[in-house]
Structures are given as C-alpha cells and as structure tokens.
Amino acid sequence: MFNFNIEEHKFKYIHFIGIGGISMSGIAELLNHYGYKISGSDREESDETNRLKSLGVEIFIGQKRENIKNPDLIVYTDAILDDNEELIAARELGVDVVSRGVFLGALMRNYKYSIGVSGSHGKSTTTSMIAKILIDAKVDPSILLGGKLDEIQGNVHCGNSEYMLTEACEYKANILNYYPSMAIILNIDEDHLDFYKDLNHIVATFIGYMKNLDENSKAIINIDDKNCEPLLSHIKGEIITFGIENEKADYNVHDITFNENGNPSFVVSSEKFDKDEEFSLSIIGRHNIYDAVAAIIACYEFHIDIDTIRKNMKEYHNLHRRMETIGFYKGCEVKTDYGHHPTEIKNTLKALDEHKKGKFYCVFQPHTYSRTKMLLDDFANAFYDCDEVVVTEIYAAREKFDSSIHSTDLVEKLVKNGVNAKYYKTFEEARDYIRSKVCDNDLVLTTGCGNPDVLAKMIVE
C-alpha cells in the first residue's frame, strides 16, 4: 500500500499529469498550501489551471517529456493512458508514480476524521452541503469538491483540523483505495460501463469498499435504493440507514411538502433525535432530499448542533453548474447543469418542468462514446419532461473516436419515442436554433459534464 505522510515531506516536489481536473486541481492546491513544490500539465488552459498558476504552481499546457523536471513523485489522473509522454519519461527516470485514486486514499489517511461521499448521483451536492455546515460550525475541514461552491470560493478548502471531506468516486474502482472513518452511500446505478462489466460488478466494488471500513467507522446508507442493500452485511462498523417514508430506516423522512417555487420541506424522525426535526431547502427537486438527509445525518453524527444544521440547509444554494442560472435571452431563463446520466437528467427535468411558465427546451451534450452507446435506450427515455430536445456532438473526454455511435442515434430513438428532438453538430448551430425559438417566460437547460455551460453563455451573450 502506498503511504503519504503530509508532515514528513518525503516527496518534496510532486508533479500532476492532468492537473486541470476538478479533483486533481484540488489535491494540488491542498499540497501547495502545505508547502510542497507542485507542478502539473494538462491538455488545455482552464479556470483550474489559471487558479493554480496564480498560487505559484508551475503549469504546462500540453504533455511532453521535458515537463518532467526531476520530481520526487508523479500523480496521474484516470484519463491518462500508458502511452502518455510524461508517464513514460517518469517511469524511465525511476520516479515514483501513483494514480489519483491511490494518492487520495493515502492523503485521507492523514486525517483522524475522513468523510467519503459516494454514489452514482448526488455526490457533489451532498459533499458541498456537509462542507457548508462544517465550515459554519467552525470545524474547518480540508475539503475536496467535484464542483465550485461559493462558500469556499472554488472546489477546495485548506483546513486546519483533523477533518477531511471528499467525494469518493467509484470510477475505475477507485473507492477500493479509500478507508474513511465515515462513508456515505447515496445510491448505486449503472454507470462507467467503459470500465465495469455490469451493475453486479459495480455493486461488488462497493461491497469491497465497505470491507475497507474498520470497527470504529460509520456507514450512512440509503436503504430505499435496492442496490445498496447487499452492502449492509459487509460492514464491520456502525450502520446508519436513511430513507423516505421507510420505517426500517434509522432516519426516516416524511411529511414532504413543496412551496410555490418547488422548494421542499420535510420532517426527519430518528431515535437519535430528542424530537422530530423539520428542515427546509432552497433548492428544487425531490431527489435533493436524499442528498440533504445524508448531509444532515453526517453532521449530526459529528455532534453539530441541530439548529446550525437546519440553518445551513435552508441557506444552501447549489454548486455552480447544478441547475445554475446563467442569464436571460429575450425573457427566457437559461440554465446549465452537470447531469450526464439518464437518472440525473430525468430528475432535473422533472424538477424544472413542474415549475416552468412557458416552453422548456433542453440541450444535451452526450458525454463519452461508451456511456452514450451502453445507456442509449435509457437516454432515449430520459427527456419526456421537456418540450423539445437539442442533441449536440458527443463530448469524447478521455475516449478515442468510436464510429459505431453518434448523437443522431439518440435523436432517432427520441423521435421514435415521441419526443421532439433535433441534432446540431456545433454549439453555434445549437445557439442559433434556440435563439430563434425562445420567447418570454421560456426555459432553456444545457446539460452534460463536458462543456455545455459554454453553450449556455453563448445563448445569453
């Protein structure tokens, strides 16, 4: 097992391959704060690389052998393949090399209290909710987020306590590298099928993760999700369950109501509470209640005052790119979202559709050929809650071109299912079409985890 002690400074100079990623940039900033010499490379400039540069981190745009300048350790992201020039150079030079997942697991072990938030959906929302509460409660944790939160001016907070809070993503079985003192499992769904064989493979990986937890740990599990049930018998520490109108759950949510804006209020019952506790959210969507309850439980288990939790849940506003309003065009509100999986898209569209005033247009940028191909039928059934769908070119991300799948395949299936759908190759074409259609009180959502926020800004401009 790879070990990393923050205080020892055994690895004085650390280079990151793929430093612009949301997780990699956060880890790099944290280590820079602790006094390590940091450098890193990425394919293109971004807000994340520019922020690191402003903090004194040496950034290389493009990945070449000459970027490797005798570091003590190299950390590479999951998107980096074995033929990467920097990775090859590092191995030839005998430099220690670890993946992001392995390094994050080692970093977490430096903290007495480490919180890992996992699940196919809702990780960033739940983690950011916990972050807001812990910061207001003066816990001052170190935080790594998968999105940008206004309260910490970005995706990372360099804390000064024994607490660390991070998302724990299951991609490429990275969760098997983590040994947190508190693990939160929000849900388990079919995703990352470029790596996993099927849902059973994903569940088995989560079971392996649960086996990492020791007797003093706490596992907070959503027992409304049937895919989470097999995990329970493999947990050695304390099991804490939650659900909606589920009397078997340790924390049971009931009496859910929504105000005129779609913001939910709900009651949570638990033997751990002195009385039933009511909470209200300022974000929309029933699915966000699960995220909120997981955050409430995590903070309450760390003895945060219930009124502090309640206040922060009411004040919480979404991360950037989570149903974020970018602006208006001809009186039409333009939002963007990170949702890129059929379940996420369904939940978001349903929440927005319930409170629309005019027509509702969704522009979807599919993310990766493998996900689009393997979940094509699910995507074809995910867009019923909007009036019209525009599908743009697939965002390849880490993958090579695959001629066996195209955005038009999705459009054909959507049309067959009775959905008004069109394909536009470029953002410029999609922008022009949307601008020609919308009017006052309409709503546009651009969604995907590539760069659909860029399109939203183009529509507004």
Q: What is the pLDDT of residues 360-375, one digit of tens each?
A: 999 999 999 999 999 9
Residue appearing with tokens 């001629």: 403
The pLDDT, as a whole number, for residue 320 is: 79
Q: Is beta strand 388-391 parallel, antiparallel or unpaired with respect to 324-329?
A: unpaired
The mean pLDDT value of the chain amounts to: 94
pTM of the model: 0.88
DSSP-assigned letter for residue 457 = H
Instruction: List the domains of the chain with CATH numbers.
Output: 13-102 (3.40.50.720), 111-315 (3.40.1190.10), 324-460 (3.90.190.20)
List, as residue ranges, the binding site for ATP.
119-125
Q: Are 72 and 11 a contacting pair, CB within 8 Å?
A: yes
The pLDDT, as a whole number, for residue 357 is: 87
Lowest mean pLDDT of 16-30, 60-74, 184-198, 200-214, name the range. 184-198
Tell me the per-residue pLDDT of 287-309, one tens digit each, with 9 for 90 and over. Answer: 899 999 999 999 999 999 999 99
Tell me the per-residue pLDDT of 166-183, one tens digit each, with 9 for 90 and over. Answer: 999 998 899 999 999 999
Amino acid letter at 387? D
DSSP string, 380-419: HTS-TTSSEEEE---B-TTSPP-TT--HHHHHHHHHHTT-
Q: Is the pLDDT of residue 243 over 90?
A: yes
DSSP string, 243-281: EES-TTSSEEEEEEEE-TTS-EEEEEE-TTSSS-EEEE-
Average pLDDT over residues 180-205: 93
DSSP string, 153-205: TEEEE---SSEEEEE---GGGGGGG---SEEEE----S--TTT-SSHHHHHHH
Q: Is the pLDDT of residue 321 over 90?
A: no
Task: List residues bridging with 15 in a β-sheet.
Answer: 39, 74
The two three-digit tokens of residue 43, written as one number: 């394919």
The pLDDT, as a whole number, for residue 400 is: 86
Q: Is the pLDDT of residue 421 over 90?
A: yes
List, as residue ranges, the binding site.
119-125
Could you give the percent of the chain with pLDDT greater than 90?
83
| Banded pLDDT at 230 (limits 50, 70, 90) | very high
Q: Is the pLDDT of residue 85 over 90?
A: yes
Tell me the per-residue pLDDT of 17-59, one tens digit each, with 9 for 90 and over. Answer: 999 989 999 999 999 999 999 999 998 898 899 999 999 999 9
| Banded pLDDT at 195 (limits 50, 70, 90) | confident
Average pLDDT over residues 264-273: 97
